[in-house]
Amino acid sequence: METRGRALRADAERTVRTILEAAERVLAADPTATMEQIAAAAGVARTTVHRRFATREALVEALATWATERFHQAVEAARPLTSPPLVALHQVTANVLQVKIGWSFAMSRTAPSDPEAARVHADVLAQCDRLFRRAQEAGLMSADTDLEWARRVYYALIHEAAEEGREIVDIGAVDQLAARVVDTLLHGVGAPVQTLPRRPVGGAGSSGPDADGHPGPR
Amino acid sequence: METRGRALRADAERTVRTILEAAERVLAADPTATMEQIAAAAGVARTTVHRRFATREALVEALATWATERFHQAVEAARPLTSPPLVALHQVTANVLQVKIGWSFAMSRTAPSDPEAARVHADVLAQCDRLFRRAQEAGLMSADTDLEWARRVYYALIHEAAEEGREIVDIGAVDQLAARVVDTLLHGVGAPVQTLPRRPVGGAGSSGPDADGHPGPR
DNA sequence: AGTAGATGCAACATCGATGTTGCAAGTAAT
DNA sequence: ATTACTTGCAACATCGATGTTGCATCTACT
């Protein structure tokens, strides 16, 4: 039931880390898991958890804050503001994936009531925006691309890739995932657009892909 | 505390629908919302909710089942097996979006312990797969596209679009969202690939986009 | 070695959510 | 109009999760 006494002893510090890691694992599997389960997973008594984190809420918040730091570092380490857009894109993606895979629960909680976390997320958002703008200037994205939508798609793809990477432990596979995310973000999963598709293959009299209009009736 | 007596009276039937709709609204906003809150939102007493749905779990399952039906209908109605791929893609997307926007919570619960719901989802998955195959044959997707990944991306994009469409009530906007999803799925948010990008714009000595290799170190 | 801190354990207190029951009053159906 | 179903209300029972306390034992730090 203490929140901030003073410096913790070495073993206590270790216990805190152990609890946080256990909490991540357990809560990722079941967000409604009980303190009891978390304590068990951490190999400590339930009372010890309460000693370190006054309330369940405090524990989750600590988890979120902890993950947010990693997240921020992951983005910063990619230097998305200075390296060439495509490189930065890949780098950021890989780094963030790494974090999201290991801290999926914590990352799923945009720490409410934590102004620091909010600041970080806003900051990252801004950096993402700037990166995309640079991507536009570099001709990677066309000038009329909706950056808001692009960002959402980007986030969604990262989330999806992280999900897929859940069961993967192999490092290096992360780079492959990142490559796929970036490629998909920029070019989708479709075939490259032929400028003049004269009679595709043959077969059912399908109406050829009409630019971008709405195809059928309702 | 009844599960299946026999035919309900007309007003009771209405009450059930009212409760389900209220549950959807409330639970979408807060998945941990209490029966009390749901009852309040439905404008009935808490005991009435319990009269119609024995347990909380039963209510959620009913919700999921209900939404699953809508979902299945939405997919079927698009005739994804017979209409030309691009048309089907748009149609399916629009229909599913419509459902996901209105039943986000229910749709987020792949009804566990409900074999029927599982069957539906598996069925939809299969149809999605077949549709993508046809898209490949039609040249919409290249032959070496990973259909598993394509499906995940597709689902993720729909999810994202539904999220964005949450605050939108306007029908017709759904078609625009669908168009954007399909376009993004196939072509991403990047600029169309120029076959020979001679010196993009100028500026920082950025290493030009190198095909698909991993850019940096690490 | 001595001390302050840390942990486990058992026991207790609280609280909110869930689920139940009985009854009076209202409403659909024949 | 009569009947059977439905609802609201109030009260009760249960249960699990959370949070607390005291004490004995153990461990890190000086």
Asked if A68 and A108 sit in the same domain, the reply is yes
CATH, residue A84: 1.10.357.10
Asked if B16 and B84 sit in the same domain, the reply is no
Site of tokens 């995309």: A132
Per-residue pLDDT, B170: 76
Residue B33, domain extent:
1-54
**Residue where a domain stops, chosen among B27, B54, B81:** B54
How many domains, chain B? Answer: 2
Buried b (16+ CB within 10 A) or exposed e, A50-62: bbbbeeeeebbbb
- Domain annotation covers residue A172: yes
Asked if A67 and A164 sit in the same domain, the reply is yes
Asked if A32 and A88 sit in the same domain, the reply is no
Contact state of A139 with B201 under an 8 Å Cβ cutoff = yes
User: pLDDT at residue B213 above 60?
Assistant: no
Chain A nearest CA to B99, separation (Å): 15
- Domain annotation covers residue B210: no
- Domain annotation covers residue A82: yes
Per-residue pLDDT, A1: 52
Asked if A138 and A157 sit in the same domain, the reply is yes
**Residue where a domain stops, chosen among B54, B71, B88:** B54
Q: Which nucleotide is nearest to B37 (CA to C1')?
A: C17
- H helices then E strands: how many in chain A? 9, 0
Asked if B68 and B176 sit in the same domain, the reply is yes
Instruction: Find the CB nearest A191 among B139, B156, B216.
Output: B139
- Domain annotation covers residue A111: yes
Mutate to test the interface with A, among B81, B189, B196, B212 (most CBs of A within 10 A): B189
Q: Which nucleotides of chain D does any protein CB come within 7 A of?
A: 5-11, 16-22, 27-29
Asked if A181 and A85 sit in the same domain, the reply is yes
Asked if B120 and B153 sit in the same domain, the reply is yes
- Domain annotation covers residue B216: no
pLDDT tens for B22-76 read: 999 999 999 999 999 999 999 999 999 999 999 999 999 999 999 999 999 999 9
- Domain annotation covers residue B177: yes
Per-residue pLDDT, A89: 97
Q: Which amino acid is at A178?
A: A
Asked if A78 and A144 sit in the same domain, the reply is yes
CATH, residue A36: 1.10.10
- Domain annotation covers residue B180: yes
- Domain annotation covers residue B9: yes
Q: For residue B214, what pLDDT band results from cuts at 50, 70 and 90?
A: very low
Chain A nearest CA to B54, separation (Å): 22
Contact call for residues A165 and A174 (beta carbons, < 8 A): yes
Q: Which residues contact A46 (CB under 8 A, 6 or more apart)?
A: A35, A36, A39
Cβ-in-10-Å burial (0-12, 13-18, 19+) of A74 comes to buried
Per-residue pLDDT, B192: 83
pLDDT tens for A170-212 read: 778 999 999 999 999 999 998 887 554 444 443 333 333 444 4
- The terminus-to-terminus CA distance of chain B in angstroms comes to 60
The segments of chain A whose pLDDT lies below 70 read 1-6, 111-112, 169, 194-218
